[in-house]
Chain A
C-alpha cells in the first residue's frame, strides 16, 4: 500500500534509515569486497522499529554526523583550501569551485541537525522545523546573493532549484528506480496537490512579468505587484502547513506505525550544531557569491547558467542521492515526497521570502523573470503533470524528465540577458 508521504516536512529520516553510506556497513561486508558508492541495502528493513543505535557519547554522534558520510564527507577537506583560496586570492575560479565543493557536505550536516532538533519536539512543530530548515542552504545562498545585489543570481538559483528538483531529481528517481523495478506505483493525490501548488506559483511568477514589458508600468508597480503576489504565496504556504500538520494530518501518516527514532543528541547540542552549521554555510556561500563575478568572466560561463544549473547543485546534491537511493528501494512515494515537496517549498516559501527580505533590506527584488525562463517553467510543470497523471512510472518517464532538464541547461548555457 502506498500511502501519502509528507509533502512538505521533507523529513529525510525515514529515507535515511534505508540508506546506509557509512561505517555501519563495514561489519557486514565480506572481506575483500569494496565499498560501493551507493550502498543499497537490499534487505527490506523489517525490523526498523527495533533498530536501536547506541551512541555512547555526544562526540561519537557528532563525528558520525560530520564524518560518517563517505565520499561526501571527504569534500569537507576542501574547507581549509576554500578559506585559503579566498584570503590568498587564488583566482575566482578556484575560489568558486572550492567553496562549491565545501558546501555540499554542509548541506547534509545541516539536514542531520535539523532532524535531531525536530525529534525533540512533537509531530507538528517537528514538521514545521523540517519545513522551514529543509531548504536552509538555498535560503542562505539566495539571501547572500540578494544582499550582494546579484538579483539575477538569486532568481536563477531559485528557479534552478525548482527545475533541479522537479526534473533532475524526480527523473533520476524514476530512471534508476525503473532500471531496478519494472514499474513502480505512487500515490497520485499528493502528486496532484503538489502540482496544483506549483501551477499557482507559476501564475505568481508570470504576474509581474508582462507588465514590465507590454504595458507602461513603472518599476515601482512591478515591485508592488511582485510584493503582493509574494504575500499571497506565503499565505498559501501557511495554509499548506495548516493542511498538512493540522486539519488533514491523517492523510500523511508514517506507514505501519514505525516508532520514531529517539534523538541521538540533546536539544541544546542540536540547536548549537544547527546554528554553527548555518553560520558556516553563510560564510562559505558568501565567498561563493563574491567569486561569481570573476568566475563568469574568467570561464566565460554565463551568469544565468551559474545561477540556474550550478548553484542549485550545492543545496540539492545530497537530497538527490538520498532520493534516488530510496527510489531504488521501491519506496517511490518517499522519493517523490522529497523531490516534489522540495520544489513546492522553494516556490511557495523561499521565492516570496526573498522578495519580502528584499523589501525589508531595500533591494529591488521582483518576480520579474525573463520571459524565456517563465515559459520554460510553465512547460516543465506541464510536462511533469502529464507524467504524474498516471500513478505508475518507469525508466522511460525518468529519462524523459532528465532529458528535459538537459535541454533546459543547454538553453541556459546560451542565454544572454541584457538589462539585468
Chain B
C-alpha cells in the first residue's frame, strides 16, 4: 500500500476540510496514474512532468529493447525508430520482465542515434563545420548550424536525465531544472558575449512565446482533434500564469523609465539588475517550494532502483561534451546572424524571436504534442508552461547577471511593442486556461495568436539597437 501525502497548499482548492492533511490511498502497483485520490487530474508541476515523461520514455525503451532481444532470427529491426513510437501502449508498468543492461556503447548509440528523424539532422554537423571553414556564405552557415543544434537539445536532455537518475529526487529535480533549458542558456550567453543584445532579448522572449502559444496551442489543437474535449488541472496552470505575470512586471519595469523619465542608461541597467536579482530569488523559492516543502511524493510504483543505462561518470562526461558541442555550434550560429540578416533581408528581431527558439524547442514541442494526443493533457501543459516559467524566471535574469559580470550592457529594456505583446499573450492564455476544459478551437486561437505576433515581428524594424 502506498501512501499519498497531500500537503495543505494555498493553491489547492480544499472544500473547507483543512483537517484532511494526510490521506492514505489503497493503491498498489496499479500503474502510473493510480494513487492520487483527489481530482483525477494531478497537480503537475514542471519537474514532475519532466520526470514523468522521462519515465515513459524509459519504459518504452525497455520494451523495445526487450522485444528486440526477443525477436526471432531473421527478423529485421526497424530501420527508423520513430520518436512517435515512444509512447505507444505504455500504460502498464512492465517491471516484471527481466531487463538486460545494455553496454555503454549500446546506450550511447541509443542516445545519440536512436531518435529517428531527429538524429538524421546530426548529419548536418560535419557540413556545418565545412561551411564555416570554407566560407560558404552566411545563409548556409546559419541554416546548417541551426539544423545541427536541434538533435543536440534532445541528446542533452537524455544525458541530463541519466545523471539525474543517479541522484536523489531533490538533486535530480535540481539538475533537470538547471539543464532543462541548457540550449537556450548557451545560445543566449553566446549571443551576449558577441554583443548581440537584440538577439539575446529576442531569443528569450521568443522562447516564452513559443512555449506559451505555439506549443500549448498545438497541444490543445491536436489533442482536441483526437479527443473532443480534454480536462486539465486549472490550479497548477493558474500558479504558472501568476509567475509569468510577475516576470512580465519585471520586464516592463525598466522599459518605461528609459523612455518616459529620461533616466540615464546606467540607471536603466541598475533597475534591470535589481529586478533580475528579485526574479532569481523568486526562482529559488519556486525550487524550494516544488522540490522541498511541497514536494508531492511522486507515485511510488516500485521504481526504487530506476533503470539507468550509463554510469554517473559517463553521464557527466556526456553532458559536458554535449554542452561544449552546443556552445561550439551556437557560436557559429550567432556569428552568422549578421550576414544572414543582410543576405536574406529577414529582420534581426524575427531571427531572434521566431527562428532561434525553434532550436531549443523543437524536440520539446513534438514530445508535448504527442503526449497531449494520448490524452495526458496535464503532462503536456506541465512541460509547456513550466518551460516558459523557467525561461522567464531563470534564464532571463541569468543573462542580465552574466552581462553584469562580463561587462556587457544587457538590460531588461525591451521594446514597448514586445512588452505589450508579452502581456497580451499572458492575458490571452490566462483567459483560455481559466476554464478547466480545452478543445481544438482554443488551440487554434493560441496558434493564431502566435502567427499574428510573428507577422508583427516580420515587419518590425528597430532603430537605436
Using a CB–CB distance below 8 Å, which chain A residues touch chain B?
Answer: 188-189, 192-193, 195-197, 199-200, 202-204, 206-208, 210-211, 214-217, 221, 224-225, 228-229, 232, 235-236, 239-240, 243, 247-248, 378, 381-382, 385, 389
Nearest-Cβ distance from residue A197 to partner chain B, whole angstroms: 7
CA distance A202 to B424 in the complex (A): 8
> Does residue B437 face the partner (Cβ distance < 8 Å to A)?
yes
B442 near A196 with CB under 8 A, answer yes
CA distance A224 to B455 in the complex (A): 10
**Across-interface contacts of B437 in A (CB, < 8 A):** 189
**Across-interface contacts of A389 in B (CB, < 8 A):** 434
**Across-interface contacts of B445 in A (CB, < 8 A):** 196-197, 200, 236
CA distance A389 to B433 in the complex (A): 11
Q: Kindly supply a per-residue 1/0 record for chain B positions 409-450, scoring 1 wherever the CB is within 8 Å of any chain A CB and 0 otherwise.
A: 000000111001100110110011011010111101100110
B452 near A203 with CB under 8 A, answer yes
CA distance A191 to B416 in the complex (A): 30
B421 near A206 with CB under 8 A, answer yes
> Does residue B20 face the partner (Cβ distance < 8 Å to A)?
no
Contact (A200, B459) CB under 8 Å given A192-B431, A214-B415: no
A203 near B461 with CB under 8 A, answer no
CA distance A217 to B457 in the complex (A): 12
**Chain A interface, DSSP helix/strand/loop, else mixed:** helix
B455 near A200 with CB under 8 A, answer no
> Does residue B462 face the partner (Cβ distance < 8 Å to A)?
yes
B427 near A382 with CB under 8 A, answer yes
CA distance A197 to B432 in the complex (A): 9
A203 near B421 with CB under 8 A, answer yes
Using a CB–CB distance below 8 Å, which chain B residues touch chain A?
Answer: 228-229, 415-417, 420-421, 424-425, 427-428, 431-432, 434-435, 437, 439-442, 444-445, 448-449, 451-453, 455-456, 459-463
CA distance A229 to B450 in the complex (A): 11
B462 near A215 with CB under 8 A, answer yes
B432 near A214 with CB under 8 A, answer no
CA distance A148 to B80 in the complex (A): 63
Nearest-Cβ distance from residue B383 to partner chain A, whole angstroms: 21
Q: Which residue on chain B has the smallest CB distance to residue A194?
A: B431
Contact (A229, B452) CB under 8 Å given A206-B424, A211-B460: yes
**Across-interface contacts of A200 in B (CB, < 8 A):** 428, 445, 448-449
Nearest-Cβ distance from residue B8 to partner chain A, whole angstroms: 24
**Across-interface contacts of A236 in B (CB, < 8 A):** 444-445, 448
**Across-interface contacts of B448 in A (CB, < 8 A):** 200, 232, 235-236
Nearest-Cβ distance from residue A137 to partner chain B, whole angstroms: 27
Q: List 26 A-B contacts (CB under 8 A).
A: A192-B435, A193-B442, A196-B431, A196-B445, A200-B428, A203-B424, A203-B428, A206-B421, A207-B452, A207-B453, A208-B456, A210-B417, A211-B459, A211-B460, A215-B462, A221-B459, A225-B455, A225-B459, A229-B452, A243-B439, A243-B440, A247-B440, A248-B229, A248-B441, A378-B424, A378-B427
Q: Which residue on chain B has the smallest CB distance to residue A378?
A: B424
Q: Which residue on chain A has the smallest CB distance to residue B259?
A: A214
A203 near B453 with CB under 8 A, answer yes
**Across-interface contacts of B462 in A (CB, < 8 A):** 215
Contact (A385, B434) CB under 8 Å given A200-B445, A214-B415: yes
Question: Can you name 15 extra interface pairs (CB under 8 A) apart from A228-B452, A240-B441?
Answer: A192-B434, A193-B435, A193-B441, A196-B431, A203-B452, A206-B424, A215-B460, A216-B461, A217-B459, A229-B452, A232-B451, A243-B440, A248-B228, A248-B441, A381-B427
Nearest 4 Cβ contacts at the A-B interface: A192-B435, A199-B428, A210-B417, A243-B441
CA distance A210 to B444 in the complex (A): 25
Nearest-Cβ distance from residue A217 to partner chain B, whole angstroms: 6
CA distance A196 to B217 in the complex (A): 13
**Across-interface contacts of A381 in B (CB, < 8 A):** 427
CA distance A248 to B439 in the complex (A): 9
**Across-interface contacts of A193 in B (CB, < 8 A):** 435, 441-442
Contact of A196 (CB < 8 Å), options: B229, B417, B424, B428: B428
CA distance A189 to B441 in the complex (A): 13
B431 near A207 with CB under 8 A, answer no
**Across-interface contacts of A240 in B (CB, < 8 A):** 441
B456 near A207 with CB under 8 A, answer yes
Q: Which residue on chain B has the smallest CB distance to residue A374?
A: B420
Nearest-Cβ distance from residue B461 to partner chain A, whole angstroms: 6
B432 near A192 with CB under 8 A, answer yes
**Which one of A207, A208, A235 has the greatest number of beta carbons of chain B within 10 Å?**
A207
**Across-interface contacts of A385 in B (CB, < 8 A):** 431, 434
**Across-interface contacts of B435 in A (CB, < 8 A):** 188-189, 192-193
**Across-interface contacts of A225 in B (CB, < 8 A):** 455-456, 459
Nearest-Cβ distance from residue B314 to partner chain A, whole angstroms: 48
**Which one of B435, B440, B463 has the greatest number of beta carbons of chain A within 10 Å?**
B435
CA distance A389 to B430 in the complex (A): 11
**Across-interface contacts of A210 in B (CB, < 8 A):** 416-417, 420
CA distance A12 to B455 in the complex (A): 38
**Across-interface contacts of B439 in A (CB, < 8 A):** 243, 248
**Across-interface contacts of B424 in A (CB, < 8 A):** 199, 202-203, 206, 378
CA distance A316 to B442 in the complex (A): 28
Nearest-Cβ distance from residue A209 to partner chain B, whole angstroms: 9
A215 near B432 with CB under 8 A, answer no
CA distance A196 to B433 in the complex (A): 9
